[in-house]
Amino acid sequence: MKFFLKIIGWFFLLIFNAFLFWSVVFLFSHGLKGLSTVLLITLLMIDFFIFNRKAYPYRYLIPALFFLFVLVLYPIYFTIKTAFTNYGTGHLITKEEALYRILTDPNFTYIKDEEKPVSYVVFCVYDGIKPTDDFLILFKVDGKLYIGFKPLPKERRGTEILLSEGKLSVIEGIEHLQIVPESEDLNEIRVIKLRDKVYKLLYSPDIPETMKFSAFFKTAIGQKHLSKAEYVHPDIGTIALRIARDGKWRFFRVERLYRLSYVEEMVGNKLKTRMIVVNNRTGRRLIEEDGAFYDIDEDGNKHFVIGYIDYVGTRNFERIVKDPKIAGPFLKIFVWNFIWASLSVVLTFTVGLGFALILNDRYLRGRVIYRTLLIIPWAVPAFISVLVWRNGMFNETYGVINKFLLGRIFGLGPIKWFNDPFWAKFACLTVNTWLGFPYMMTVSLGALQSIPDELYEVASIDGANRWQRFWRITFPLIMTTVAPLLVGSFAFNFNNFVNIYLLTQGGPPIPNTTTPAGATDILISYTYKLAFEGARGQDFGFASAISVIIFFLVAGISFVNFKISGTFEEVRR
């Protein structure tokens, strides 16, 4: 039995090694060299722990090591790497892929001046009276009839089809093909029979009776199959579907807009060969700068063609300091972030400690009931509580505070909770205090119950009042237990994205800024907006730079707090 189990174990180990090795090769071939390296190191360490007898105790660390490398170390590496690039909207692919797209993508083609459209008629197989996307196209080029079959994907990027290519053939060379009626005039042909399939007339921009199927052709065939497709024949060149000047969808002969070329340039005292991209239509070379290619028009204006991921050095970090429309909001957000985290800790701890002192009174009746009721805010999921506060309490029109408390009881006007920066910040701190005080109450209550009663008896004999006993005995002894948790709470609230984003979405907006900065934004919500919600698109590089700054800020502040509070001093001794 043991031998059988051992065989099964080795079999699963073999499968695990094969899967991880395949993952390494797959990721490396797709340009994810960092993640593939992390997986390879993880695989080697796991095998070392298993096959080396001296490393036997480390086998129990294998799951932790795997998740450490994949879910912690690699994201840190990727974030730091991205912070020094222009990764974002318009710059999501590598330079090699950008060049490949310029040379192959059907969007980078042009129609020669005064080029006449190619006459065509689309035929498809019908399911009863309903057309399908099983189609073929009949072209007439230079007096000859050509048949184009449904294009097939030629170039892919993951699931995205970059280029499809259709086969063009002269109809005389195709066996088992029958045209009904036989005619050289495209407008007269109604049926094409090919082997066991019958293709009936569907659409042509020049046949009025087919206009009823125009929408089906444009959506089910044109956009789906022909938008990135080309039909190629050695005698007639390349044909592609374009929107003509009359607004109709027609086929034209197209040419590649760009090509690669090489020039010799003097770099220092050396003559070097450099690859460039040239516009075939104008003969001008494209300008390559800031991780993008730009075309030049007749007036000398630059036009963005395509961008790629490029190393930009410390530019993302410099923007925070040098750009006044970024530096100003960033400084405001940082100051508020520090105030938010500090006040959150102070308020939750103060309220929690106050309730803990009350519940710690052994003569208080119904302590269990009070304790249960006060812990409810902690038991309810935070996002539910935040939404209740946002829509039920702070709603400016029908919220409980504005409509009933201020309006009916005090006769005051409504407060603009989410449009006024001060009140928006007040609302954020109120909700966070509500959510956080039960945790502090529970921690403080546990610390209070660990303090010996003899200390209070001796202090009473010496004449100390309650206030003196609290500050000389209770508070110092509580802080020895709670101080590390307060530091952890500060770090947590410094990056407390959920409460801020669900309550105010970081608003109201800060005026005169080029980034989506809000008055209640903290650094992490500001980073999220930069990465996913910017009006100018996603800016992952800049967001990653701020994430790196957040990491060092939190680490530095936590270190200082630990040092000042003397936490872990006893451990070191």
Domain with CATH 1.10.3720.10 in the chain: 319-572
Cβ distance 146 to 171 under 8 Å?
yes
DSSP character for 88? B
Segment 424-469, tens digit of pLDDT: 999 999 999 999 999 999 999 999 988 888 888 888 888 888 888 8
Per-residue pLDDT, 537: 78
Q: Which residues contact 262 (CB under 8 A, 6 or more apart)?
A: 273, 274, 275, 276
User: Which residues partner with 254 through β-bridges?
Assistant: 111, 238
So what's the pLDDT on residue 535?
A: 65
Q: What is the 3-state secondary structure (H, E, C) of 231-273?
A: EEECCCEEEEEEECCCCCEEEEEEEECEEEEEEEEEECCEEEE
Pairing of strands 229-233, 160-170: parallel
- Sign, Cα dihedral of 461, 467, 351, 437: negative
What pLDDT score does 347 carry? 96
Token output for 566: 């003397």
For residue 115, give both structure tokens: 């080029």
Q: What is the dihedral of CA 136, 142, 145, 147, to 10 degrees?
A: -30
**Could you tell me if 34 and 77 are in contact, meaning their C-beta atoms sit under 8 angstroms apart?**
yes
Tell me: domain 2-83, CATH 1.20.272, correct? Answer: no
What is the CATH topology of the domain spanning 319-572?
MetI-like fold (1.10.3720)
Distance between CA atoms of residues 131 and 125, nearest Å = 6
Q: Is residue 325 exposed (0-12), middle (13-18) or buried (19+ Cβ within 10 Å)?
A: middle
Tell me if residue 117 falls in helix, strand or coil: coil
Nearest residue to 153 (alpha-carbon basis) of 145, 163, 144: 163
* pLDDT the model gives residue 571: 47
Q: What tens digit of pLDDT does each residue of 82-93 get?
A: 999 999 999 999
Q: In this predicted structure, what is the pLDDT of residue 368? A: 85
CATH 1.20.58 intervals, the chain: 2-83
Q: Which two tokens stand for residue 113?
A: 């001046």
Predicted local confidence at residue 182, as pLDDT: 87
Eight-class DSSP state of 197: E
The whole-number pLDDT of residue 569 equals: 55
Chain length of the chain:
573
Query: Which residues of the chain fall below pLDDT 50?
Result: 571
Amino acid at the residue 116: K
| Beta-carbon contacts of residue 441 (< 8 Å; ≥ 6 apart) | 351, 352, 353, 355, 356, 359, 374, 375
